[in-house]
Structure 1
Amino acid sequence: MHFVALATDYDNTLATDGRVAERTWSVLEKLRQSGRQLLLVSGRELDDLKTICPRLDLFARVVAENGGVLYQPDGGEKRLLAPPPPDAFVAALKQRGLRDFSVSETLVAMMKPNEQIALAAIRDLGLDLHVVFNGDAVMILAPGITKATGLMAALDELGLSPLNVVGVGDAENDHPLIDACGFSVAVGNALPALKAHASMVTQAANGQGVEELARALIDDDLSSRISNVERCRVLLGHRLDDEARPPVHLGAYGTIALLAGPSGGGKSTVTAAVLERLADAGYQACILDPEGDHCSEGNLVALGDPHTVPSIDNALQLLERPEQSVAVNLLRVPLPERPQFCANLLLRLQALRVRTGRPHWLVFEEAHQLFPAGWDPADASLPIVLETALAVTVHPDQVARPFLRQVNTMIATGAKPVATMNAFAEAAGVAPSSLALPSDALERGQVLVWEPMRQAARPCLVQVEPGSTQRRRHHRKYAEGLLIPERSFYFRGPEGKLNLRAHNLVLFLEMADGVDEDTWRFHLERGDYSHWFGEVIGDDELAQEAKAVEQETSLSPDESRERIRAAVEKRYTQPANPSLPPLRAS
């Protein structure tokens, strides 16, 4: 379940002429029984709502006075979110002969056209007050106070993200409310401007429109209505096999994507771009990171390191905050224990997701390590429905079938993308897609996208939209981490007598200083250094600089070594102690 709460306006939305029909209350009861929470967000004064609304107990929180007051019905606690109206302003209204207005704890209310008198008083007194319209009603309150700010205060108390909330209203002051929510709705009697702005307009008016919305939430969690909603999707790139180059999106809810391809094929670039756009949109991610790819930056906190097993309790504690994403570094977890660690974490995450709809995205780096094909408990460890996830792997055929059966978006990168898709199809037990490409390798930044659950769907060629900033997400891993054997660099020499494995860039530089000149020159002339930097490390700038050194044949071995060292150290800081962490027996 993604949408775990409904935030509704009161007058002319939930209520007609100030009253809510009994059948509307019944439908809201059913919505609560589905596990969702209700929030009332109104321009009315709290005492007025207590008098006119007999079922405030249904709501987890009540936002009154257009965002100025927050009330908790079950505990009776009230909190003011805005300052009271200035005494000078109230006095000025009375001096101007205005009698038909009310003063509440945080706002002054009146009817049109009396706002002209209020505006004149605000101007003459030089006050900083905000005038808000609600049909024929007018409210004057402190600037920056809206239904949206009141809603955010309520969600903060409940530990919910606005992306998991559906907002519904009818009038001018409901624009901020529905804008703040993950899905926006206008009832059938709403103002045309609000209807034009909403993602959904109910056919029925007032409370019957809210009933219609509640039933849609209960039926399918709005999954049939969100595919074209901008806030409910994330840009992947643009189609290259269509002259119009239309955008290609991933659904921000309901996507189970498998990103697969050989090392150096661009999987990290795609993952980084998608995660960046998700973070920009406010989505929370939990990343299971077997190789330590992700570092703490922005709203992402990395737990664990090559010396420390990450704490599941700490991860869950951080994820209680909607704005906080977490990367769980599994470098210290022995390879055979990673599937069970993943299963334990998923079990805890599912409980959080049921309650809050978060984390919005689960990201499984090196998915074949977390859900290996031959691991018996795979069925038991996977939730019945993952809801939204991205899995990244070099080996789709080595991922457990219970996971692959849930994949609805397959993304292939790098060399032999058709073979990668066919390997997924065979492992998942689905019919392969017939596709011929002019080349057996995709260019950097290109991917093939296929939706295997759609009948007759054909893969499309997509140019990935890069992230706005180049993240150094591999810095720690490649500088001092412990790379898996197939991604390490091997000094073998011209006759293949050596087998010196560099697990990271620090060890690469140490070994480069120690190998004989023939071995160093052998790999230099073959272009092995630039190839490793570009295809495995994924640092194109470093690869280009190394390639220039490889092509400058006048350099002595010592000179070329020094140039390569300088290029590496310019980008990657050598740690004080580059020794490898002790490994636990597996």
Structure 2
Amino acid sequence: MTYKLIALDMDGTLLNPKKQISEQNRLWIGRAIEAGVRVTLATGRPISDASVYAQDLQLETPLVINNGSEVWSLPDKLHARHVIDSNLVSRLLTEVIPAYAEQVNFWSHTVEGRVNKTNLPDDVHSLRWLQLGISSKNIDLLKEIRSELETWNAFEISNSDVTNIELNAPGISKASGLQEVCRILGIQMSEVIAIGDSLNDVPMIKAAGLGVAMGNAQDTVKAIADVIALTNVEDGVARIIEAHI
């Protein structure tokens, strides 16, 4: 198979535990680009974070941001945006977060900036909510909250670590974001290599022509991947590019 696009998750995949891009990853991403293969980031991070790394790698392909809630081309072209119904945000903040107030943290990415429990607006309808997050070290509690939220049938539910829950608008994921990127580039998802480590990567790993789980990935991710790479401290991204590009 000739692959035309590589989609990289950031934390736990492209980045090492120090949030750095290793020299090997940098080298082989550069070689892929030189060979005519496009490279993008598919991340749960906001555009303000992702753009720093994309510019560092000199990426020119549209980026999948906030788990697919946005697709951006640098420096400032927005291709797609999908927001969460603010009524659902209000319900989450009044029914769920207060019930577990001492045991969980709430965070979110909005068009207007980052929001957490310390800077919640008086009017939640005044913001455009892109992604919501609930985090806790109590894994069993997170499972309980996730089970409750699943009964709402109102969110795309995932995580970027076993210690959190991430919420996006229904049907919005890194896969839907990548499909938008493929549409822009005029290629098929079968021509994509997607690499990740967490539940928010599962949709794109399933949809890609080659779905890759990092060696440090959650077991659920490894179970659905076509290939398991080395870990993010062993230049797993570089080795996949070396082997398949």
Query: Are 1:4 and 2:13 an aligned pair?
Result: no
What is the rounded CA distance, in whole Å, between the counterparts of 2:58 and 2:195 in structure 1?
Answer: 19
Q: Which residue of 2 aligns with 1:46?
A: 47
Q: Which residue of 2 aligns with 1:164?
A: 191
Query: Are 1:173 and 2:197 an aligned pair?
Result: no
C-alpha contact (below 8 Å) 2:229/2:240 kept by paired residues: yes
Give the alignment partner of residue 130 of structure 1, picking from 138, 153, 156.
Answer: 156
Count of aligned pairs = 215
Return closer, same or farther for 1:127/1:213 CA change in 2, 3 Å cut-off.
closer
Residue 214 of structure 1: how far off its partner (Å) = 1.0
Name the amino acid aligned to 1:155: C
Q: Which residue of 2 aligns with 1:249?
A: none
Deviations along 1:488-515, one digit per CA (max 9) or x if unpaired, are: xxxxxxxxxxxxxxxxxxxxxxxxxxxx
C-alpha contact (below 8 Å) 2:173/2:203 kept by paired residues: yes
Deviations along 1:469-496, one digit per CA (max 9) or x if unpaired, are: xxxxxxxxxxxxxxxxxxxxxxxxxxxx
Q: Which residue of 2 aligns with 1:145?
A: 172
What is the rounded CA distance, in whole Å, between the counterparts of 1:154 and 1:181 in structure 2?
Answer: 12
Residue 207 of structure 1: how far off its partner (Å) = 6.5
Gaps of at least 5 residues in structure 1 are: 219-586
C-alpha contact (below 8 Å) 2:202/2:221 kept by paired residues: yes
Return closer, same or farther for 1:11/1:159 CA change in 2, 3 Å cut-off.
same
Return closer, same or farther for 1:118/1:41 CA change in 2, 3 Å cut-off.
same
Name the amino acid aligned to 2:109: S
Identical-residue share of aligned pairs (%) = 24
What is the rounded CA distance, in whole Å, between the counterparts of 1:60 and 1:8 in structure 2?
Answer: 12
Deviations along 1:255-285, one digit per CA (max 9) or x if unpaired, are: xxxxxxxxxxxxxxxxxxxxxxxxxxxxxxx
Residue 188 of structure 1: how far off its partner (Å) = 1.6
What is the rounded CA distance, in whole Å, between the counterparts of 2:149 and 2:199 in structure 1?
Answer: 23
Gaps of at least 5 residues in structure 2 are: 111-129
Name the amino acid aligned to 2:51: K
What is the rounded CA distance, in whole Å, between the counterparts of 1:34 and 1:54 in structure 2?
Answer: 19
Q: Say which SS state the counterpart of residue 154 (structure 1) adopts.
A: helix
Return closer, same or farther for 1:102/1:26 CA change in 2, 3 Å cut-off.
same
What is the rounded CA distance, in whole Å, between the counterparts of 1:182 and 1:88 in structure 2?
Answer: 34
Matches within 5 A, 1:470-489: none
Deviations along 1:503-529, one digit per CA (max 9) or x if unpaired, are: xxxxxxxxxxxxxxxxxxxxxxxxxxx
Query: Are 1:109 and 2:136 an aligned pair?
Result: no
Deviations along 1:169-211, one digit per CA (max 9) or x if unpaired, are: 1112211111111112122212233223222222344560000
Larger Rg: 1
TM-score by length of 1: 0.34
Q: Say which SS state the counterpart of residue 38 (structure 1) adopts.
A: strand
Deviations along 1:82-122, one digit per CA (max 9) or x if unpaired, are: 22342452464267434832222311122135755576578
C-alpha contact (below 8 Å) 1:204/1:212 kept by paired residues: no
What is the rounded CA distance, in whole Å, between the counterparts of 1:60 and 1:6 in structure 2?
Answer: 10
Q: Which residue of 2 aligns with 1:93?
A: 93
Q: Of the two structures, which has the highest relative contact order with CA contacts closer than 8 Å and spacing of 6 or more?
A: 2
C-alpha contact (below 8 Å) 1:50/1:56 kept by paired residues: no
Q: Which residue of 2 aligns with 1:446?
A: none
Return closer, same or farther for 1:41/1:204 CA change in 2, 3 Å cut-off.
same
Return closer, same or farther for 1:203/1:158 CA change in 2, 3 Å cut-off.
same
Q: Which residue of 2 aligns with 1:263?
A: none
Return closer, same or farther for 1:145/1:203 CA change in 2, 3 Å cut-off.
same
Q: Say which SS state the counterpart of residue 78 (structure 2) adopts.
A: strand
What is the rounded CA distance, in whole Å, between the counterparts of 1:59 and 1:209 in structure 2?
Answer: 22
Return closer, same or farther for 1:178/1:211 CA change in 2, 3 Å cut-off.
same
Name the amino acid aligned to 1:8: L
TM-score by length of 2: 0.76
Return closer, same or farther for 1:101/1:79 CA change in 2, 3 Å cut-off.
farther
Return closer, same or farther for 1:31/1:51 CA change in 2, 3 Å cut-off.
closer
What is the rounded CA distance, in whole Å, between the counterparts of 2:58 and 2:91 in structure 1?
Answer: 37
Q: Which residue of 1 aligns with 2:230?
A: 203
**Which ranges of 4 or more aligned residues in structure 1 deviate by more than 4 Å?**
51-54, 113-123
Residue 152 of structure 1: how far off its partner (Å) = 0.3
Matches within 5 A, 1:309-324: none
Q: Say which SS state the counterpart of residue 66 (structure 1) adopts.
A: helix
C-alpha RMSD of the superposition: 2.7
Q: Say which SS state the counterpart of residue 58 (structure 2) adopts.
A: helix
Name the amino acid aligned to 1:77: K
What is the rounded CA distance, in whole Å, between the counterparts of 1:207 and 1:110 in structure 2?
Answer: 30
Q: Which residue of 1 aligns with 2:81?
A: 81
Bigger fraction of residues in strand: 2
